[in-house]
Structure 1
Amino acid sequence: MGALELKNITKSFGATDVIKGVDLTVKDGEFCVFVGPSGCGKSTLLRIIAGLEDASAGDILLDGKRVNELAPAKRELAMVFQSYALYPHLTVRDNMGLALKQAGVSKAETRAATDRAAEMLSLGPLMERRPAELSGGQRQRVAIGRAIVRRPKLFLFDEPLSNLDAALRVATRIEIARLHRELSATMIYVTHDQVEAMTLADRIVVLRGGVVEQVGAPMELYNDPANTFVAGFIGSPQMNFLKSGALGQRGETTGIRPEHLEISRESGSFEGRVSHVEKLGGETLVYVRSEIHGLLTVRLFGEHSYSVDEAVWLSPDMGRAFHFDSAGLRLR
């Protein structure tokens, strides 16, 4: 079991409030991702769950048991950091089995547990190497394996892919998703990368300034954002925000995703000029500057030829539009 409940968690460093009353329930076996910009409090919240930081107020319950006063080692959880935190003088096998050794587990049981984890992570041929002989992706897999052998109630990941290159990030992301399916374990994952959040999470917790802005399944947040912050943060490229009055629409702001903004050389709702074009092969991103609405992004599938400073017309698909009031809250 690995159900987690946070009740009115706050955290202050001196006069600075970092976490401002977070309530959250993570179900047993759920993959929950904390996402938000730098400084939003996501890593601090994870460290509070781990016991590496004390909450200023509130309760942390693991399987219904309050664990606020328990040391990290007593909370039956394992944490994977972005820095790997491997001992350079130990082999892969010894790094992965160190916690079991320290807990007094027999050599035979420790070896069996590390072998199982190594098989899951394709680390078998590397077990007698030391961290300096491994690539960044291999080191991260060792760090994940070290967490697996402990068989914790809860896995905590703190931006584990941020030190990897793009190809390795994708490969390791797929690996983590597969592990979640195989282990049926509860996982909480912190990232600033909304693509990671969208592709891994059962539910996403969007944080800003120590406050939970919205919680929901990835496509729920994409298709039904509560405010302009969530609407702009979830989705890549991010949502366009246009002036509602100029479009004859209600509210202060109209949100249109780049794939729902049509571009034409002949006619449309309003004019603009091409500012930049990104040809990505499978899709083309055209950045258009409008005097009324500012810089907007148009997402086109396939290859398209537009030139910088070319005059174009844009037309939002109002059937796919979102409307927000002056405070940024969604109008429904």
Structure 2
Amino acid sequence: MDALTLTDVTKKFGRTQVIDGIDLSVAPGEFCVFVGPSGCGKSTLLRMIAGLEDVSSGQIAIGGRRVNELPPARREIAMVFQSYALYPHLSVRDNMGLALRQAGTPKAEVLTATDRAADMLSLTALLDRRPADLSGGQRQRVAIGRAIVRRPRLFLFDEPLSNLDAALRVATRIEIARLHRELGATMIYVTHDQVEAMTLAHKIVVLRAGRVEQVGAPMDLYNDPDNRFVAGFIGSPAMNFLDAGALGLRSDSLGVRPEHLAISAQEGTIPGRVSHLERLGGETLSYVQTEAHGLLTVRQFGEHDHAVDGPVWVTPDLTRAFHFNAEGSRLRT
């Protein structure tokens, strides 16, 4: 039995359709990430699963049970928001245990569940503090702990790391991945950050304009995208798109990842000039302006030096390239 099943799910706001016939199954214990650009419908879809938005048509089932008509409190879900949503007048302990207390759970069980979650999240020393006395990362851990104590069928995360700085984002991402392994729970996670999607997910659902573009494991999407949109969205730095005709090839567009472009000052396939250089220590990114293909990104591992505004040649590894037609569909051989 799947933990979550969506069958031809649609959502309209007035005459505007924002979710268009989505079918999806999520297995028990799976970490599934909804990813896509702003306005693609990923947060709306999560809110429909949670019961915070009505379904215009189709069916949502959690654990094999249709939940379309059920309120959020009866769906056996727990949601972690971007905004933390903590009660400022309650301690960490009381924030984490509030839902259980409201459900009439015996006090001893609430304390046991709260202490267990606090231990998992390294919050034991903070249990008597108020949210105002915590850092942003600590507040987010409290919000996650509040979800853990409920032992839901589904954990729903709505861009939970957006308010954190870069270092905390990485640390909290690692924490969420560890928790998933320890809990073995089913998690649905929404983000616009494809790095979060690639590093957390068992399964990624790539959305655009309310439709599913592709579903698959992170490296399957990276190595075998179905279309130009997925190819360009998954991967950082983004894929380069070259004019195949200018290279004497039959397809309309050629996609080449930055690490599959070679750069040389002496010889190559595509002439250009270095417009910018990013030395990142472990890798070097060269941005090369070309006449036929626009701006290309070349990724080299290690430290390299190319003169800004200097002439260079770029050569794509055609054995690692992706071919697309004018509509953006993948051409497979």
Would you call these one fold, judging by a TM-score over 0.5? yes
Tell me the residue number matched to 1:44. 44
Inter-partner Cα distance in structure 1 for 2:78 and 2:2: 12
Given the alignment of the two structures, is residue 257 of structure 1 paired with residue 257 of structure 2, yes or no?
yes
Q: Deviations over 1:188-219 (max 9, x none)?
A: 00000000000000000000000000000000
Q: Deviations over 1:229-263 (max 9, x none)?
A: 00000000000000011112221000000000000
Given the alignment of the two structures, is residue 297 of structure 1 paired with residue 297 of structure 2, yes or no?
yes
Given the alignment of the two structures, is residue 208 of structure 1 paired with residue 236 of structure 2, yes or no?
no
Tell me the secondary structure at the aligned position of residue 108 of structure 2. Answer: helix
Alignment of 1:150-161 (within 5 A): 150-161=150-161
Inter-partner Cα distance in structure 2 for 1:79 and 1:108: 24
Inter-partner Cα distance in structure 1 for 2:238 and 2:250: 22
Given the alignment of the two structures, is residue 108 of structure 1 paired with residue 93 of structure 2, yes or no?
no
- The letter for the 2-side match of 1:258 is P
- The letter for the 2-side match of 1:310 is G
Alignment of 1:14-163 (within 5 A): 14-163=14-163
Structure 1: 4+ residue segments shifted above 6 A: none
Inter-partner Cα distance in structure 2 for 1:239 and 1:148: 38
Tell me the residue number matched to 1:319. 319
**Alignment size in residue pairs:** 332
Q: Contact between 2:2 and 2:25, CA under 8 Å: does it hold in 1?
A: no
- Identity among equivalent positions (%) equals 75
Tell me the residue number matched to 1:226. 226
- The letter for the 2-side match of 1:139 is R
Q: Deviations over 1:148-202 (max 9, x none)?
A: 0000000000000000000000000000000000000000000000000000000
Structure 2, unpaired ranges of 5+: none
Alignment of 1:182-197 (within 5 A): 182-197=182-197
Tell me the secondary structure at the aligned position of residue 220 of structure 1. Answer: helix
What's the Cα RMSD here?
0.8
Structure 1, unpaired ranges of 5+: none
Question: Which moved further from structure 2: 182-191 or 248-257?
Answer: 248-257
Structure 1 length-normalised TM: 0.99
Q: CA deviation at 1:2?
A: 6.6
Inter-partner Cα distance in structure 2 for 1:251 and 1:109: 63
Tell me the residue number matched to 2:245. 245
Q: Contact between 1:5 and 1:60, CA under 8 Å: does it hold in 2?
A: yes
Inter-partner Cα distance in structure 2 for 1:164 and 1:283: 25
Q: Contact between 2:41 and 2:207, CA under 8 Å: does it hold in 1?
A: yes
Q: CA deviation at 1:106?
A: 1.1
Q: Contact between 1:251 and 1:323, CA under 8 Å: does it hold in 2?
A: yes
Tell me the residue number matched to 1:274. 274
Tell me the secondary structure at the aligned position of residue 18 of structure 2. Answer: strand
- The letter for the 2-side match of 1:58 is G
Q: CA deviation at 1:84?
A: 0.1
Tell me the residue number matched to 1:199. 199
Inter-partner Cα distance in structure 1 for 2:228 and 2:161: 27
Tell me the secondary structure at the aligned position of residue 37 of structure 1. Answer: coil
Structure 2 length-normalised TM: 0.99
Question: Which moved further from structure 2: 303-312 or 322-331?
Answer: 303-312
Q: CA deviation at 1:308?
A: 1.7
